[in-house]
């Protein structure tokens, strides 16, 4: 005869509650097939608890059980023979529920594990963000990049921006030639009476094909070709190190969100674009030389007339 068979006819009265805070009801407890069966006194089954998962919980009765460590149900027993039978079928008795301190420690450990997993996911996203942004940057709408570039240059130049009606017309004409020579989007030129961030820098590109020429570059130029070469070098730098991508990367996870939505109007993003102009990350000159040479060759072959003398003088005087 198996140990379980010895207790086939054993029954006892117990008190069952669906939750610890509920009023317990009197029930009949018997052994089923490797389980504890809980019934109403009209033989309606209330629950079947596997013997292998029973957990002892704190309570006023000699033995209070739960079906497992996470279950809210409780069964209180005071029948000595039934308690002995349960402990006989489970060597060492029903497993005791962890103490409050141990349960708290386990909860804290689970929370710490969840936080660690979240931190790991964020770290992985942070590592992947620059590459993802680089792939998304040039897919953002051209008008959004242009607006970002205009705002960044305006904030970068501030009161040092140089502008006259005649001078701007000359810049527009040069920008159109550059755009056609490069076969890309519009090129918009601006001039600022600011010191260059480095001696070798004559112009800088902002997002959207926007280029700011420094007044010293304009002063030193003896022909429009010198200005076109300076602007072509800035655009070649931008082709190698996208100013849109740089601003989005510097904006961090907000930049990733903006890149995904194509909305480049965030104040943080404008600030990042301005910071990139103030401290540009430049590619080596030899890396841009071939692109500049190609652009200058295309300009030489475009057949466009040089700026009229009056337009050239107006451009040279744009900063007053």
66: β partners? 55
pLDDT-based confidence at residue 294 (cuts at 50, 70, 90): very high
| Gap between the Cα atoms of 135 and 244, Å rounded | 11
Q: Is the pLDDT of residue 93 over 50?
A: no
Q: Decide if 168 contacts 188 (C-beta within 8 A).
A: no
| Gap between the Cα atoms of 93 and 261, Å rounded | 61
Task: Please report, for the chain, the start and end positions of each structural domain, with discontinuous segments joined by +.
Answer: 3-97, 134-316
CATH top-level class of 3-97: mainly beta
| Gap between the Cα atoms of 153 and 207, Å rounded | 9
pLDDT at position 94, please?
Answer: 45
pLDDT at position 255, please?
Answer: 62
Q: Is the pLDDT of residue 121 over 60?
A: no
Q: What is the pLDDT of residues 67-82, one digit of tens each?
A: 988 889 999 998 888 8
Q: Is the pLDDT of residue 1 over 50?
A: no
Please give the average per-residue pLDDT across 224-243, as a whole number.
Answer: 91
| Gap between the Cα atoms of 123 and 25, Å rounded | 52
- Of 42, 43, 86, whose CA–CA distance to 61 is shortest? 86
pLDDT-based confidence at residue 231 (cuts at 50, 70, 90): very high
| Gap between the Cα atoms of 70 and 98, Å rounded | 11
In terms of residues, how long is the chain? 320
Please give the average per-residue pLDDT across 224-239, as a whole number.
Answer: 93
pLDDT at position 109, please?
Answer: 66
pLDDT at position 257, please?
Answer: 62
- 56-61's contacts with Cβ under 8 Å and 24+ in sequence apart are 56/93, 56/94, 56/95, 56/96, 56/97, 57/97, 58/97, 61/15
Please give the average per-residue pLDDT across 32-58, as a whole number.
Answer: 85
Write down the mean pLDDT value for the chain: 82
**Is the pLDDT higher at 279 or at 269?**
279
pLDDT-based confidence at residue 4 (cuts at 50, 70, 90): low
pLDDT at position 130, please?
Answer: 60
Q: Which run of H or of E encompasses 28?
A: strand 25-31
88: β partners? none
pLDDT at position 16, please?
Answer: 93
Q: Is the pLDDT of residue 298 over 50?
A: yes
Please give the average per-residue pLDDT across 234-240, as a whole number.
Answer: 90
Q: Is the pLDDT of residue 117 over 70?
A: no
Please give the average per-residue pLDDT across 112-141, as a whole number.
Answer: 62
Q: Is the pLDDT of residue 163 over 80?
A: yes
pLDDT-based confidence at residue 57 (cuts at 50, 70, 90): confident
pLDDT-based confidence at residue 161 (cuts at 50, 70, 90): very high
Q: Is the pLDDT of residue 146 over 80?
A: yes
| Gap between the Cα atoms of 317 and 209, Å rounded | 24
Q: Decide if 286 contacts 188 (C-beta within 8 A).
A: no
pLDDT at position 91, please?
Answer: 47
DSSP 222: S
pLDDT at position 129, please?
Answer: 55
Q: Is the pLDDT of residue 92 over 60?
A: no
Q: Is the pLDDT of residue 122 over 70?
A: no
Q: Is the pLDDT of residue 48 over 60?
A: yes
What DSSP string runs through 234-265?
A: HHHHHHHS-HHHHHHHHTTHHHHHHHHHT---
Q: Is the pLDDT of residue 250 over 80?
A: no
Q: Which of 196-200, 204-208, 252-256 has the lowest mean pLDDT?
A: 252-256
pLDDT-based confidence at residue 204 (cuts at 50, 70, 90): very high
Q: Is the pLDDT of residue 221 over 90?
A: yes
What tokens appear for 224 in the block? 């429009």
């Amino acid at each position: 005869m198996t140990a379980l068979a010895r207790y086939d006819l054993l029954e006892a009265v117990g008190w069952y509650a669906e939750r610890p805070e509920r009023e317990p009801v009197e029930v009949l407890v018997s052994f089923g097939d490797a389980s504890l069966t809980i019934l109403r006194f009209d033989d309606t089954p209330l629950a079947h608890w596997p013997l292998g998962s029973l957990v002892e919980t704190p309570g006023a009765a000699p033995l209070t059980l739960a079906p497992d460590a996470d279950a809210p149900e409780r069964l209180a027993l005071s029948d000595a023979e039934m308690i002995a039978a349960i402990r006989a079928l489970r060597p060492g008795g029903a497993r005791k529920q962890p103490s409050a301190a141990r349960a708290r420690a386990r909860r804290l450990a689970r929370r710490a594990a969840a936080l660690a997993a979240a931190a790991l996911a964020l770290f992985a996203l942070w590592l992947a963000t620059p590459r993802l942004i680089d792939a998304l940057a040039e897919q953002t709408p051209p008008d959004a990049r242009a607006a970002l570039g205009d705002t960044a240059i305006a904030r970068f130049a501030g009161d040092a921006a140089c502008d006259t009606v005649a001078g701007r017309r000359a810049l527009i004409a040069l920008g159109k030639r550059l755009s056609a020579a490069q076969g890309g989007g519009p090129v918009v030129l601006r001039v600022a009476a600011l010191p260059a961030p480095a001696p070798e820098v004559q112009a800088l590109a902002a997002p959207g094909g926007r280029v700011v020429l420094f007044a010293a570059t304009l002063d030193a130029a003896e022909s429009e070709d010198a200005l076109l070469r300076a602007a072509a070098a800035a655009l070649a730098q931008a082709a190698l190190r996208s100013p849109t991508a740089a601003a989005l990367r510097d904006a961090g996870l907000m930049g990733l969100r903006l890149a995904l939505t194509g909305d480049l109007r965030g104040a943080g993003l404008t600030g990042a674009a301005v910071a990139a102009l103030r401290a540009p990350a430049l590619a080596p000159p030899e890396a841009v030389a071939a692109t500049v040479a190609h652009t200058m060759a295309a300009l030489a072959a475009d057949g466009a007339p040089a700026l009229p003398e009056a337009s050239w003088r107006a451009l040279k005087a744009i900063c007053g």
